[in-house]
Structure 1
Amino acid sequence: MTTPLKIAVHGAAGRMGRRVVALASADPSVEVTAAIENDQHELLGADAGELAGVDTLDVPLASKWPTDVDVVIDFSLPDAIDRCIEKCESHDTALVIATTGMTDAQVERLRDASASIPVVWAPSMSLAVNLTMKLAQQITEKLRDVPGGLDIEIIERHHRFKADAPSGTALKFGDLIAEKLGDDTKHVHGREGHTGQRTRNEIGYHAVRVGDNPGEHTIVFGMLGERIELNVAASNRDCYAAGAIAAAKWLIDRPAGMYDMFDVLEM
């Protein structure tokens, strides 16, 4: 593009929204032109750049929806998703959505919107996480019929403030692995009491909430006599913000449709 990509950040006052603003402000190929929050937010009117810890951008935190942006990057909350989808659809604006914890009805609403606007939706915008997801699928495909059976467990760790469990990323790992295991796969969340021995067609999930951990996922592939562990961990939130900006750049030239980070990475 010869002119900077104009982006709006939805949830701009949140931890992730601020990092998107900060990284985008340092990228000459994009321009933050709107910073959106709910109409009751205590910081309305504050400069988005100053909130993000960078230079003043002359972009105030506002609840009014912009009409002159190319892409909206959403790092908000499930309660705010419906308005975001509606506004992007009505203004014909591309949407990168990274919010997790959506209801089935909201997911269906997002899919409906993708008939008229291009959407990238992924539970994790991290490039490393998405590459690890592809590796997890490949390992599952090659080992699912190994003699003695293949046991798969997903352990995710996040900060104490995270409201949903297991993480959307852990669930996405499980869905992608289940595609390679078969239709009879069971998803088991935690274990307690006399559970009996592990069945061969289950994926186990375990959520850990500790300190300020920005996100870590370990996929354990256990066999008789050996095991493989895939571990992908963030040391800060910039990987998610950078991935979202990369998705926005990729999305701008795409037709209406539902895309994910595998599409962005061309995997």
Structure 2
Amino acid sequence: MNKDVRVAIIGASGRMGRQLITTTTHTKGVLLGAAIVRKGSSFSGKDAGELAKYENLGVSITDDLKLVMNDFDILIDFTHPDRTLKNLELCLQYHKPMVIGTTGLDKQSQEFIKESAKEIALVYSSNFSIGINLLLKLVEKTTKIIGSDSDIEIIEAHHRHKADSPSGTAQKISATISNEMNWNLDPHTLQAAPDIHGSRTKNTIGLSSIRAGDIIGDHTVMFANIGERIEISHKASNRIIFAKGALKAARWLKAYKTGFFDMIDVLNLHDI
């Protein structure tokens, strides 16, 4: 029995799409089943290897996801919110599991993804880096111990082309802190650090976003107290970390027919 999982990569000509194709070529247990680009893309009809500056992979690029629904087991989607939702609707129709790494999804869209997991298996994460998910657990533990005594700040930085702000990862970090502190803060409303012209408001999380150069992704969580502060940081230097995580999630997800999961589930970090 073939245990390899066949993945389809949508948004194949983008930064993450190209990285996913490249990483797929040297990842055991994963095969590239399909590569999908935007309608009318000049890459349509060419071999997927061209997107990864690799030898021919024997997979013809298409601009129509519906035409290749039988060529893969799991769809990996790092595109845009509106496109991801359309892809999800098609995967529901064909009962195809998905790994979703798209950021910028609003609360309603995230609820739709969770509801869809009653019919298909889904891994949804704002960040597929193993390091970031370890950071989330460290933040959770630190919040539990000193959160009530600290002023908490999240500083995130990404490249100049990233459209959404704050990052999905920053929102996930803030949600982790809020849940631990029972603050019931909506991470979708956190846009900026507290007003620097006034005193600090209690039970708040400051959030600062930087968009500059080619920064792949930096996140720092600061727990500041009188006399000392703790900073927990993660810096991404190569998109391969996200691709490796997404492919790991795809291999893991193959065992499930339905269910909503994140990278904490994939990495089995709940009990740490």
TM-score (norm 1): 0.94
For these two proteins, the number of residue pairs brought into alignment is 264
Residue matched to 1:129: 132
1:205 to 207, 212, 220: 207
Which runs of structure 2 are paired with 1:104-183 in the superposition (5 Å)? 104-145=107-148, 149-183=149-183
1:89 to 74, 92, 107: 92
SS in 1 for 2:154: strand
- Give the letter aligned to residue 71 of structure 1: I
Residue matched to 2:105: 102
Instruction: Note the C-alpha offset of 1:40.
Output: 2.7
- Give the letter aligned to residue 179 of structure 2: E
After the TM superposition, list the runs of 4 or more consecutive aligned residues in structure 1 that deviate by more than 6 angstroms: none
SS in 2 for 1:62: coil
Residue matched to 2:264: 262
Instruction: Note the C-alpha offset of 1:50.
Output: 1.5
Distance 2:241 2:196 in 1: 40
Residue pair 1:99, 1:123 contacting (<8 A) in 2 also: yes
Q: Deviations over 1:130-174 (max 9, x none)?
A: 1101110110011123xxx31110000100110011100001000
Change (3 A) 1:9 1:201: same
Residue pair 2:194, 2:206 contacting (<8 A) in 1 also: no
Change (3 A) 1:109 1:184: closer
Instruction: Note the C-alpha offset of 1:108.
Output: 2.3
Instruction: Note the C-alpha offset of 1:110.
Output: 1.3
SS in 2 for 1:220: strand
Residue matched to 1:189: 191
Residue matched to 2:13: 13
Q: Deviations over 1:81-137 (max 9, x none)?
A: 122101111111110000001133322221221111000000001110011011101
Distance 2:87 2:6 in 1: 17
Residue matched to 1:243: 245
Distance 1:253 1:97 in 2: 17
Question: Among the aligned pairs, what percent are the same residue?
Answer: 37
Distance 2:251 2:145 in 1: 34
Change (3 A) 1:263 1:193: closer
CA RMSD between the two structures: 1.7
Q: Deviations over 1:211-261 (max 9, x none)?
A: 111101000010111111001011110000000000001101023011000
TM-score (norm 2): 0.92
Of 27-36 and 160-169, more deviation after overlay is shown by 27-36
